Amino acid sequence: MSRGEDGFVLPAVIVVLVVVAGAAALATQRLQTQTKSTAARLDGLRVQGLVDGVARLVAVSLLNERVRGLPGLGLPENGGAVTCPLPGGGAIRIAVQDQAGLIDLNASPRPLLEDAFRALGLPDTDAATIAAEIVDDRDPDETPEPMGGAEAPQYRARGLPYGPRNAPFDAIDELDRLPSMTPALATILRPAVTVLNPGGGIDPALNAALTARGGTASEGLRQYTARSGHKFYGLRVVAETATGARSGRFALLSLDGRAGRGFLTWRSSTAAIPDGPPHPACALIALVTGE
């Protein structure tokens, strides 16, 4: 090989080595990214499994306590949160709400709706209007409720392409259809209403928010006090690890033998649950879940 050829080969080899080194670095970076992505997915799946396991454990606990007369977790049933720490950081938060502590959109008479909405902090005008629109949406007639009701003409006047359903509410999300509903009002009302309290009365021990305010609103609610039959529950479970993996579950549970026992709703939800105090149930939850 001539000297000229030697001079050509050496730079060519260097170029090849640079290309190979660059490709190796890129492959290593991609492998690291894929490894991190895989680890994050595995962490997310682990947390989702944890959340689902805890939700089912809570459901079995309620079934044992309320139907079989056996010991359970003993969690509060008024919507108050419980926070259980996770090993290595993070926490799992649990909130159980007996639906008998909530305002039923179908069974509650208008005076109860108004008094309860005032107790939640709605101004008098808003409380009366929303209560009237709820009644008009669920009743079969076409006569607007006095002082704020809404039937088809009122919906059209608001520019809405639909009218009242004139049928019972199937879900609380249907509140959003009301002509006078706003995001701010919905934020206040959603945690306080249900379609699973068919008795229509409210057990004040199961929703302190409705009786925390003094004055005529809270006084007016007393005539609608009714003890819970412990038939329907809302369950919320959200977990977050120290690595930032987050998952949650919302479920509606029926313990009513006539309606059928089991989950009525089972969906993902990472809506925030406020921090709550630790609870003796955390030790059993950790034992059962291995966390």
In a domain, 130, yes or no: yes
At residue 41, the pLDDT reads 75
**110 and 95 co-located in one domain:** no
- The parent domain of residue 75 ranges over 46-101+228-289
* pLDDT digit string, tens, across residues 50-98: 999 999 999 999 999 999 999 999 999 999 999 999 988 899 999 999 9
At residue 193, the pLDDT reads 96
Q: What single DSSP character describes residue 99?
A: G
Residues whose CB falls within 8 Å of the CB of residue 152, separated by 6 or more in sequence, listed in order: 142, 163, 164
**256 and 275 co-located in one domain:** yes
Q: What is the mean pLDDT of residues 213-227?
A: 74
In a domain, 222, yes or no: no
In a domain, 234, yes or no: yes
Beta strand 193-194 pairing with 103-104: parallel
* pLDDT digit string, tens, across residues 133-166: 999 999 999 999 999 999 999 999 999 999 999 9
Angle of helix 281-289 relative to helix 3-63, nearest 10 degrees, comes to 130
User: Model-level pTM?
Assistant: 0.82
Report residue 290 as tokens: 């291995």
* pLDDT digit string, tens, across residues 177-204: 999 999 999 999 999 999 999 999 999 8
Number of domains in the chain: 2
**124 and 86 co-located in one domain:** no
Predicted confidence band of residue 214 (pLDDT cuts 50, 70, 90) = low
Q: Which CATH number fits the domain that encloses residue 88?
A: 3.30.1300
Task: Name which residue leads in pLDDT, 199 or 211.
Answer: 199
Q: Which CATH number fits the domain that encloses residue 145?
A: 1.10.40.60
**108 and 187 co-located in one domain:** yes
In a domain, 244, yes or no: yes
In a domain, 220, yes or no: no
In a domain, 96, yes or no: yes
In a domain, 209, yes or no: no
CB 237, CB 51: distance < 8 Å: yes
Computed over every residue of the chain, the mean pLDDT equals: 87
Q: What is the mean pLDDT of residues 119-126?
A: 93
In a domain, 89, yes or no: yes
**117 and 182 co-located in one domain:** yes
Report residue 172 as tokens: 């609380």
**175 and 246 co-located in one domain:** no
**127 and 94 co-located in one domain:** no
Beta strand 90-98 pairing with 232-241: antiparallel
Q: What is the mean pLDDT of residues 208-231?
A: 76
